[in-house]
């Protein structure tokens, strides 16, 4: 019998359309490894909601692999030490994984690949989480893109993304190797257990992702273009956490939607949203400090106000006195997600009405979103703040009251998530929208002069 292969999974927690897993299965016995790496330099620890999701996803994956006779080994620590150790323990001749694109992650992967090859192992990595890898999409002058529309046009000019791979067939028994017990990682909250709303709404795992994709195709895709911005009657895919954790691949989503026969505008709009996800990863690949530094360096001069703990806490807890903002922050806390339109409204309120640094909001979303992604989360915060690639101009300030009238005209969203605003029990607004808009425009002038 051939020697086993080791598959190191990260943000690709699925069996079908998994190139690393398929390649390993073709060779013989397979051992699957997941490393909870919070120790390697530069690796960002997961937020609370992401940790809750990861527990459910690994639990589901372990059961699915176990039914197929494949071991899922869990280890915690530095991947640079653990991956070669497990490969040696099982006598692996080959190690496979799917690529990731953050700067610290790439450094870890490069070092592991060099170590394994020095030991004489075959090592290969694959494209699995992006439709278009960042180095394949370039401007005419060979540089990276900073504006979405030409980026997406360049992507669409490339060959169509490959079709999803079928689920692999596994042969041979996985050799036994010790690993951690998932419950020992304490990924789920206990005291207090704040995850009741998450459990009610979400089903982490590949099966949950497959069911959600099917539900979107059947129920909402046809109305996606017309209804995705309507807050009360939610017409969104709810695929973002499944995509973030790789339970659904972008290839599966792309081809399922493209072949659905749904309204052409809705299909095009959804595919462009996948493109926006690609653009965020493209920017992160070329600017690894996206979560900590302004992409537009002139924003280093922006006069953010000193962190006002009372105002920041009011925003986090949905006690700003602004109905749609409070509704969005309540939805986030209860469900681990938020309507995309409201993400923009709440982010604009923090950065442009409160003049608080976008990094404070990005960190809160990182901790509370089940789909918190190392590229999309900071990218979108910088986009709203005006400091990022293809950013909304800083002087374009979302008025939350106008936004609510336009996208929640009957108040259904606010009624569901912030009913206190309809009963008269809401707090007074913590800021005057008109006056804070003037202050934001004055602050923008500082940035404009710095870039002149």
Distance CA(206)–CA(16), nearest Å, equals: 9
- Residue 383 appears among annotated catalytic residues: no
Instruction: Out of 185, 304, 399, 420, pick the active-site residue.
Output: 304
SS3 category, 339: coil
Sheet containing 94-98, strands listed edge to edge, beginning at the edge strand earlier in sequence: 71-76, 30-36, 5-9, 94-98, 122-126
Instruction: Out of 59, 93, 133, 340, pick the active-site residue.
Output: 340
Angle made by CA atoms 392, 398, 399, in degrees to the nearest 5: 165
- Residue 381 appears among annotated catalytic residues: yes
- Residue 59 appears among annotated catalytic residues: no
C-alpha separations of 269 from 37, 227, 250 in Å: 36, 11, 15
Distance CA(164)–CA(254), nearest Å, equals: 9
C-alpha separations of 405 from 12, 60, 173, 323, 428 in Å: 40, 42, 60, 11, 19
Instruction: Give strand ranges (E) for 82-156.
Output: 94-98, 122-126
Distance CA(17)–CA(246), nearest Å, equals: 10
DSSP per-residue codes, 358-381: HHHHHHHHHHH-TT--TTHHHHHH
Instruction: Out of 64, 105, 247, 273, pick the active-site residue.
Output: 273
Q: State how far Cα 304 lies from the chain centre.
A: 26
Over the Cα atoms of the chain, what is R_g? 23
Instruction: Out of 133, 276, 333, 399, pick the active-site residue.
Output: 276
Distance CA(157)–CA(303), nearest Å, equals: 41
Instruction: Out of 202, 358, 383, 417, pick the active-site residue.
Output: 358
Instruction: Out of 8, 52, 295, 381, pick the active-site residue.
Output: 381
Instruction: Give strand ranges (E) for 207-320.
Output: none
Active-site residues: which are they? 273, 276, 304, 340, 358, 381
């Amino acid at each position: 019998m051939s020697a086993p292969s080791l598959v190191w999974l990260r943000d690709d927690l699925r069996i079908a359309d998994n190139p690393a897993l398929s390649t390993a299965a073709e060779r013989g016995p397979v051992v699957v490894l997941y490393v909870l790496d919070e120790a390697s330099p530069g690796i960002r620890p997961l937020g609370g909601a992401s940790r809750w999701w990861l527990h459910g996803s690994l639990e589901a994956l372990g059961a699915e692999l176990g039914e197929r006779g494949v071991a899922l080994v869990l280890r915690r620590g530095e991947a640079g030490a653990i991956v070669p150790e497990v490969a040696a323990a099982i006598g692996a001749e080959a190690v496979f994984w799917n690529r990731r694109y953050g700067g610290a992650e790439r450094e870890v992967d490069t070092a592991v690949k060099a170590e394994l090859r020095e030991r004489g192992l075959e090592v290969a990595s694959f494209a699995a989480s992006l439709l278009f890898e960042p180095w394949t999409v370039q401007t005419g002058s060979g540089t990276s893109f900073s504006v979405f529309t030409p980026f997406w046009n360049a992507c669409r000019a490339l060959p169509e993304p490959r079709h999803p791979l079928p689920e692999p067939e596994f042969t041979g028994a996985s050799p036994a190797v010790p690993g951690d017990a998932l419950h020992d990682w304490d990924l789920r909250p206990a005291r207090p257990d704040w995850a009741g709303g998450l459990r009610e709404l979400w089903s982490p795992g590949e099966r949950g992702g497959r069911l959600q994709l099917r539900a979107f195709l059947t129920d909402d895709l046809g109305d996606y273009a017309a209804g995705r911005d309507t807050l009360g009657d939610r017409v969104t895919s709810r695929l973002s956490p499944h995509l973030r954790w790789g339970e659904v691949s972008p290839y599966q989503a792309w081809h399922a939607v493209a072949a659905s026969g749904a309204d052409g505008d809705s299909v095009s709009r959804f595919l462009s949203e996948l493109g926006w996800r690609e653009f965020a990863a493209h920017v992160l690949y070329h600017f690894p400090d996206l979560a900590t530094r302004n992409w537009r360096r002139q924003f280093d001069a922006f006069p953010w106000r000193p962190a006002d703990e009372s105002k920041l806490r009011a925003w986090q807890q949905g006690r700003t006195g602004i109905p749609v903002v409070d509704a969005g922050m309540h939805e986030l806390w209860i469900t681990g997600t938020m309507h995309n339109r409201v993400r923009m409204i709440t982010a604009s309120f923090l950065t442009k009405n409160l003049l608080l640094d976008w990094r404070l909001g990005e960190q809160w979303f990182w901790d509370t979103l089940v789909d918190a992604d190392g590229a999309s989360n900071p990218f979108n915060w910088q986009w709203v703040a005006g400091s990022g690639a293809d950013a909304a101009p800083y002087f374009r300030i979302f008025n939350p009251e106008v936004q609510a009238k336009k996208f929640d005209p009957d108040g259904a969203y606010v009624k569901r998530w912030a009913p206190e605003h309809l009963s008269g029990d809401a707090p007074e607004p913590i800021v005057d929208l008109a006056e804070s808009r003037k202050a934001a425009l004055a602050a923008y002038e500082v940035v404009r002069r710095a870039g002149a």
